[in-house]
Chain A
């Protein structure tokens, strides 16, 4: 490689001074930006007292919550101080009124066996002793004294507390033993009673039986067809509330649709008066633009709270909030689109002596309508997402239901169900809007090309 001489190097430097001798602020601004960001992050760390928050957080709950999204548990309890040992289930358990699961076995010798994960993870007990089997190890526990005692070595998945012995069996569940009771938690993958709840006459029946009942069975409830009864039982499922969830979801969709559409309808005429090239009055244009800014800057939250107070909680309040915000957003984007149009078609129509309205109709509209529709669709799409959040402050829709289900920390499966439905809706609407916008953009593209070809 031929080496450059000093003269050549300085000649290049002289030819391109803007590259080699940049002002100091231009050379150092990336460094300054990074330093500023680091300083700000340090400040944020202190502001949110992040180390303390993280120290006090309960990350061990995360896998538990996540597993609750897709599973449910049953917690039978066996009292040992009664004359006879009988399993007791919490009220409203997923097993219904008369639980008799096949994983709780009463042995011929009077002992009980609870299979938590088949034979491999199980507990067998009577009033004097309990035996926990898991991970290939058998742990005998004597229950005759004043507190339970493990006879033999204690494996690391068993914790001995003062008066209770806890065996954690991973995802499958856990066993808690004291001298007077054995408590089992068994976890199942899936959603319990998703179709019919425990009060339904169809509860606990296999699908084939349910279908044959619906098709040709005797009426389970006199005067109602089995199909209507099944639909009613599904819709009013007490645990999953399908009817309520779907209605709320529809409300969310309606809020986004109605708010965006009304916003577009109101913003459309206003945008013409706000566009500087169409309206000769500078004052009117400025007033309208500031009005759009105002509607946008008074946040959707504020509008939502106001309208919730005015109309009461519900989708009307949510629609109104989106409507008011959209007047600002769409008004701004519409008027910007109008200001960017090509003036020649307008002048052409004007030169034929057409009046103001006809000039807008034939000189301006054909150019901006695809842009308007495209932007409105984009806002509709983003409002469908946004409507979920403002629902949580009482503005209707699925948001509030989600928030309430989460607040109790116990209903994560329901939360996940609603999230899945929301994701589905967002996905469908994204795609509809994308397809429509792509078709429009083809129109726009053709139009632009045509203009370019005609010079």
Chain B
């Protein structure tokens, strides 16, 4: 009994007890958090399964059947589909009518259909990223706290960009499909508007973190707002702007593919058709082309970003 009282009065022992209490409390909270997350996970799994047309366990055995049609009887058909070369398996159905899609440029010289569609998708991504960049740059200067003194102007521009970012692209695309006809132009407008918001947010955050000394120097010699932004701010932020724009191109290529599947022109639509009708060779050709393109765009953009801003481009700030 006397022993325990002496231990309790020991300050080291008290500290150890406090530490143990704290740890067990933290462990309890961690366990509680993980438990809640698991409950939420299983609840949502059940919900997703209930709401789906086919259920997970019923469909699982059939998944392999469905993958089996992907394996073409003749592997050469994949290449033929990709380059629009006539197939000996052609029986007049849409499954093997490869040469029909040829886009003749001049005489007998043609671009295969899928390459033309892929080009459309990439062009949609590039043009919409350009639109985003052109509008996001001036907006970002107006939205930056250190460059624009008027809080009302800042607030208006920031809220506007937030709205553009959160507005579902598919609604903008649908609205403009009714105005400029369904196709790639509606997709460009939708993705472009979204890019303005997305890039604008990233850009103004960069602007707010610049070194203000060049700006003060220019202010001291009487430069106006445009001159200060042009010569003090722009040289500091341009590499980062470019890096984020390249990242946006990667994202926009993916979005424009999806837009294609809902009528925005380009490769998405063809892919959706091929998969829903079960054209194995065509599906494989399209997936291959899309995979290679996205991979190349990603790698090229990563290489260029590394050159522009170094390793910083790959560190996600927490």
Residues of A in contact with B (beta carbons under 8 Å apart): 37, 40-41, 44, 47-48, 50, 53-54, 56-59, 61-62, 65, 247, 250-251, 254-255, 257-258, 261-262, 293-294, 296-302, 305-306, 309-319, 333, 336-337, 340, 370-371, 374-375, 378, 385, 388-390, 392-393, 396, 399, 402-403, 406-407, 409, 415, 419, 422-423, 426-427, 430, 437, 440-441, 444
Option from A48, A58, A422 in Cβ contact (under 8 Å) with B179: A58
Given contact pairs A297-B294, A310-B54, A393-B261, a sample of 18 additional A-B residue pairs in the complex whose CB atoms are under 8 Å apart = A40-B126, A53-B180, A53-B183, A54-B180, A57-B181, A61-B179, A62-B175, A298-B287, A299-B294, A305-B272, A310-B62, A312-B52, A313-B52, A314-B53, A392-B258, A406-B174, A406-B177, A441-B318
- The answer to whether B179 touches A393, judged by C-beta atoms less than 8 angstroms apart, is no
With beta carbons under 8 angstroms apart, the residue of B47, B48, B179, B318 that contacts A57 is: B179
Contact residues in A for B44 (Cβ distance below 8 Å): 254, 257-258, 319
Contact A258 B168, beta carbon cutoff 8 Å:
no
Q: Is A301 a contact of B45 with CB atoms below 8 Å?
A: no
Q: Which residues of A contact B179 (CB under 8 A)?
A: 57-59, 61-62, 65
Q: Are B130 and A41 in contact (CB under 8 A)?
A: yes
Partner of B63, one of A294, A310, A313: A310
Residue contact B258 to A299, C-beta cutoff 8 Å: yes
Tell me whether B225 is interfacial, beta carbon within 8 Å: no
Could you count the A-B residue pairs with CB atoms below 8 Å apart for me: how many are there? Answer: 200
Asked if residues A402 and B170 are in contact (CB atoms below 8 Å), the reply is yes
- Which residues on A sit within 8 Å (CB–CB) of B56? 311, 316
Determine if B287 and A302 form an interchain contact, defined as CB atoms under 8 angstroms apart. yes
CB distance from B81 to the nearest CB of A (A): 16
Considering only residues 164-216 of chain B, those with a C-beta below 8 Å from chain A are 166-171, 174-175, 177-181, 183-185, 188
Least CB distance, A350 to chain B, in whole angstroms? 23
Q: Whole-angstrom distance from the CB of A171 to the nearest CB of chain B?
A: 19
Taking the closest CB of chain B, its distance from the CB of A341, in whole angstroms, is 12
Nearest CB of chain B from residue A64's CB, rounded to whole Å: 10
B150-169 near A? 1/0 per residue, CB < 8 Å: 00000000000001001111
In the bound complex, how far is the Cα of B51 from the Cα of A50, in angstroms?
42
Give Cα A53–Cα B182 distance, bound, in whole angstroms.
10
**B79 contacts the other chain (CB 8 A):** no
A396-B51 in contact given A257-B44, A316-B56 (Cβ < 8 Å):
yes
Q: Within 8 Å CB of A399, what residues of B?
A: 168, 170
Residue from A316, A378, A423 in contact with B48 in the complex, judged by beta carbons closer than 8 Å = A316
Give the one of A53, A302, A318 with max B CB within 10 A: A302
Report whether B168 and A61 are in contact in the complex, using a CB–CB cutoff of 8 Å. no
Chain A residues with CB below 8 A from B54, complex form: 310-312, 314, 316
Asked if B49 lies at the interface with its beta carbon under 8 angstroms from chain A, I say yes
Complex: how many Å from CA A437 to CA B316? 13
Q: Is B298 an interface residue (CB 8 A)?
A: yes
B-side contacts of A53, CB under 8 Å: 180-181, 183, 185
Give the distance in Å from the alpha carbon of A430 to the alpha carbon of B258 in the complex. 23
A393 contact set on B, CB distance < 8 A: 258, 261-262, 272
The 4 closest A-B pairs by CB, nearest first: A314-B52, A312-B53, A312-B54, A406-B174
Determine how close the nearest CB of chain A comes to the CB of B125; give it in whole angstroms.
11
**A residues less than 8 Å from B178 (CB atoms):** 58, 61, 65, 406, 409
Bitwise interface map of B from 259 to 271 toward A, beta carbon under 8 Å scored 1, else 0:
1011000001001
B168 touches A402 (CB 8 A): yes
Whether the pair A415, B258 counts as a contact (CB closer than 8 A) is no
Q: When the two chains form their complex, are residues A302 and B37 in contact, meaning their CB atoms are under 8 A apart?
A: no
Q: Mark B51-70, 1 if CB is under 8 A from A, else 0.
A: 11111100100110010000
Q: Are A47 and B295 in contact (CB under 8 A)?
A: no
Give the distance in Å from the alpha carbon of A250 to the alpha carbon of B265 in the complex. 29
Assess the A310–B66 pair: CB atoms within 8 A.
Answer: yes
Q: Considering the chains assembled together, what is the distance between the CA atoms of A314 and B56 in angstroms?
A: 11
Among B48, B174, B318, point to the contact of A251 (Cβ < 8 A): B48
